[in-house]
Chain A
Amino acid sequence: MVDVGWYMALAAALFLIGALGMLLRRNALVMFMCIELMLNAVNLTLISAGRALNDLDGQVAVFFILVVAAAEVVVGLAIIVAIFRRRATASVDELSELRG
């Protein structure tokens, strides 16, 4: 039996990878995938914490986060597609018309 702490550590590592990718990558799609990675790290944390605490709340919460992630995909991909259609690029560096 693997100690629950390892699962939490793995989740923390996944979350960090996602957060760093979000900050370092410049392609809107990849940034979006990094956000999904972060949400999945949250799911892993909740499942392992719920398991360790012998409590169902954490595992039920995962379903809610899955649904939210799906809703974000719908809106996010729609926005990215709309931008790609007009500019033929998904790089956020090209999106710099708004500045003071």
Chain B
Amino acid sequence: MITPPEISWLAIAPDLALTLGAALVLLVDVQWKPVARVHAWVSGVTVAVAAGLTVAQWIQAAPADALAFSGLITMDGFAIFTRLVLIAATALGLAAGWRFVAGLGRRGAEAIALVLLATSGFSLMVASNNLVMMFMGLEVGSIALYVVAGLARERRESEEAAIKYFLLGSFASAIFIYGVALIYAGTGQFEIVGIRDLLAGFVVSSPAVIYIGVGLVVVGLAFKVSAAPFHAWAPDVYQGAPAGLVGYMATVAKVAGFAAIARILLTGVLDLSGSWLPVVAGISVVSMLLGSVLALVQGDVRRLLAYSGVSHAGFIMTGVVGGATDAVLFYLAIYAIQLIGAFAVVAVVAGPDAAGSSIDQYRGLGRRSPLLAGAFTVILLGMGGLPVTSGFVAKFGVFTGAWAEGYEWLVIVAVVATVVALAFYIRVIVVMYMDEAQEEGTLRIGPERWVLVLAVAATILWGIFPASLLDLAADALPI
């Protein structure tokens, strides 16, 4: 007799809620052709239900039964924390992109459904213990994002961003899954915990295949999180995709990608760390330096944020080198909120469906809309890692981890890169306050204002009282 596998619906409940919500948005749209406000309610309730179920997971989760669905899915703290970050990013991203979504008219429901589906995919990805399951989640999320990048169909730049994102994203996915196949060929395992136990218990006779596999997996995910030298797509995509939803796209891909990197490297193949640590440290150095230096010479704020994202990928990699999952998670949560906040400002200044956002548009913003410029200043300083902002706490966390691991040189490079990075953030601030405005009139702010309020509050409050979030991140351990 075949015993059926044990099914724990709670483990995938938030993802189910997001998927059903996406279907519901489309069905409601087809059946009643409602106004945008109805979609706002449906998607808002979906995100709230998903968040509630994730909190229920946090309360329920016990390490003993963290594995569900025959080991495909985990319900460990790491997965739940990352999932909460993803769901928060979805709520903020939809609010920041709401004017774009509403402006799409009849196609607005598609945009909401794609965003919810992308979140459900990435949320499965961060919770998966099985490498094929992780690939499925990655693809469900990525394929939805390729379409989101091309949603502003009437703009040529949006099409260009979509094809570039699609070709390079699929290329990265193929590299990732080939690495998974090689790991399987070397170990006979898809399960991350199984690989860990195997490597801990046996001396693998021919580890070359596993090394190549791990290397390819890291390269594939480095593409997704736009770490140098695999970052070439990011500036073009960030510049061309619809302004309202770029922040969401960039954030969820980066959060999920780094969660996967941390889970595979720090849980699965930690015993091979002697081999991958130098490689990850190398990617980290190249990302920090290249991202910071190239951001200095950008004339477009969205490309600047893309290159700053490359340098942030390098900073988060130092946390992976240090082996501190809590520092990585804290950094991801902080960076997610700040990135969506920064792109919300871009969406206000450039217009919700615009492509590009030249720095000239920000001249004199301090006099045109003091509150908007003030919020952008706080967010940029937070991204730069100035003390008293949450960015400082986040950077401090990942740097101390790498220092304790014996990578002092990496931390020194990181601090230099932080100073260079501050230069381009401050350049934007100077332009906003010192220059004369080239355009007149106040800017229209829609639901973006709530995103900005939250981003500023998170940057300052978690900068002064980081303990609450740090404790949560410290509890969020992988199995």
Q: How far is the CA of A31 from the CA of B300 in the complex (A)?
A: 29
A39-B177, A64-B136, A95-B164 known; A86+B159 contact, CB < 8 A: yes
Q: Is B184 a contact of A57 with CB atoms below 8 Å? A: yes
- A28, B163: Cβ atoms under 8 Å? yes
Question: Using Cβ atoms and an 8 Å threshold, which residues of chain A touch B173?
Answer: 68, 72
Does residue B156 face the partner (Cβ distance < 8 Å to A)?
A: yes
Residue in B157, B177, B188, B356 whose beta carbon sits within 8 Å of that of A53 in the complex: B188
Interface string of A14-54 (1 = CB under 8 A from B): 01001100100000100110010011011001101110110
Q: Are the C-beta atoms of A75 and B167 separated by less than 8 Å?
A: no
Contact of A10 with B by CB under 8 A: no
Please tell me if A65 contacts chain B, counting CB pairs below 8 Å. yes
Indicate if A71 sits at the interface (CB-CB under 8 A).
Answer: yes
Known: A55-B188, A82-B153, A97-B156. A35 touches B167 (CB 8 A): yes
- CB of B174 within 8 A of CB of A35, answer yes
Contact with B along A47-80 (1 / 0, CB 8 A): 0111011010110010011001001100110011
Distance of A42 Cα from B178 Cα, bound (Å) = 5
Q: Convert B333-345 into 0s and 1s, putting 1 for each residue whose CB lies closer than 8 angstroms to a CB of A.
A: 0000000000000
Contacts of B177 in A (CB 8 A): 39, 42, 65
Given known A71-B143, A98-B239, contact A35–B170 (CB-CB < 8 A): yes
Residues of B within 8 A of A49 (CB): 181, 184-185, 188
Cross-chain contact B132 with A64 (CB below 8 angstroms): yes
> Could you tell me the distance between the alpha carbons of A68 and B162 in the complex, rounded to whole angstroms?
18
Is there an interface contact between A97 and B157, defined as CB atoms closer than 8 Å?
yes
Question: Is A76 a contact of B170 with CB atoms below 8 Å?
Answer: yes
Instruction: Assess whether B240 is in contact with A98, with CB atoms less than 8 Å apart.
Output: yes
- Which of B143, B156, B188, B298 meets A86, CB within 8 Å? B156
B159, B161, B355: which has the most chain A beta carbons within 10 Å?
A: B159
- A42-B159 contact in complex given A49-B181, A68-B135, C-beta closer than 8 Å: no
**Residue ID in chain A nearest B235 by CB atoms:** A100
Chain B residue numbers with a CB within 8 Å of A98 are 157, 160-161, 164, 235-236, 239-240, 355-356
Given the complex, which residues of B lie within 8 Å of A13, measured CB to CB?
none
Minimum CB–CB distance from A4 to chain B (whole Å) comes to 9
If A42-B174, A61-B190, A79-B162 touch, whether A28 touches B139 (CB-CB below 8 Å) is: no
Cβ A100 vs Cβ B303 within 8 A: yes
B67 at the interface (CB under 8 A from A): no
The interface residues of chain A lying within 8 Å CB-to-CB of B163 are 28, 79-80, 83, 92, 95
Assess whether B298 is in contact with A82, with CB atoms less than 8 Å apart: no
Q: Is the CB of A45 within 8 A of B162?
A: no
Distance from B215 Cβ to chain A, minimum over Cβ atoms (Å) = 14
Interface membership of B166, Cβ < 8 A: yes
Contact of B178 among A32, A38, A100 (CB under 8 A): A38
CB distance from A30 to the nearest CB of B (A): 11
Bound-state CA distance A82–B190 (Å) is: 38
B150 within 8 A of A: yes
Residue of chain A at shortest CB distance from B239:
A98
**Contact (A42, B150) CB under 8 Å given A68-B135, A86-B156, A92-B163:** no
Alpha-carbon separation in the docked complex, A8 to B160 (Å) = 36
A92 CA / B143 CA spacing, docked (Å) = 20
How far is B240's CA from A100's CA once the two chains are assembled, in angstroms?
A: 11
Distance in angstroms between the alpha carbons of A40 and B18 in the assembled complex: 31
Indicate if the CB atoms of A71 and B139 lie closer than 8 Å.
Answer: yes
Docked-complex contact A72 and B167, CB < 8 angstroms: no
Partner of B146, one of A18, A75, A92: A75
A15-B178, A97-B157 are contacts. A79–B146 as well, Cβ < 8 Å? yes
Q: How far is the CB of B220 from chain A (nearest CB, A)?
A: 11
Least CB distance from B151 to A in Å reads 11
Question: B355's closest neighbor in chain A, by CB?
Answer: A98
Taking CB atoms, residues of chain A closer than 8 Å to B178 are: 15, 38, 41-42, 45
Give a binary string over B291-320; 1 marks a CB under 8 Å from any A CB, 0 the rest: 000000111100100000000000000000
Report chain A residues within 8 Å CB of B161. Answer: 98
Known A-B contacts A79-B146, A79-B159, A97-B160; A46 and B239 likewise in contact (beta carbons under 8 Å) = no
Q: Which residues in A have some Cβ–Cβ distance to B below 8 Å?
A: 8, 15, 18-19, 22, 28, 31-32, 35, 38-39, 41-42, 45-46, 48-50, 52-53, 55, 57-58, 61, 64-65, 68, 71-72, 75-76, 79-80, 82-83, 86-87, 92, 95, 97-100
Beyond the given pairs A49-B185, A98-B239, 14 more chain A to chain B contacts, judged by CB atoms under 8 angstroms and listed by A's residue number, are A35-B170, A41-B178, A45-B185, A46-B181, A52-B185, A64-B135, A68-B173, A76-B166, A79-B159, A83-B159, A87-B156, A95-B163, A97-B157, A98-B236
17 chain-A/chain-B pairs, Cβ below 8 angstroms: A18-B174, A49-B185, A58-B181, A61-B184, A65-B177, A68-B135, A72-B143, A72-B170, A75-B146, A75-B147, A76-B170, A79-B146, A83-B160, A95-B160, A98-B164, A98-B235, A100-B297
**3 tightest A-B contacts by CB?**
A49-B185, A38-B174, A45-B181
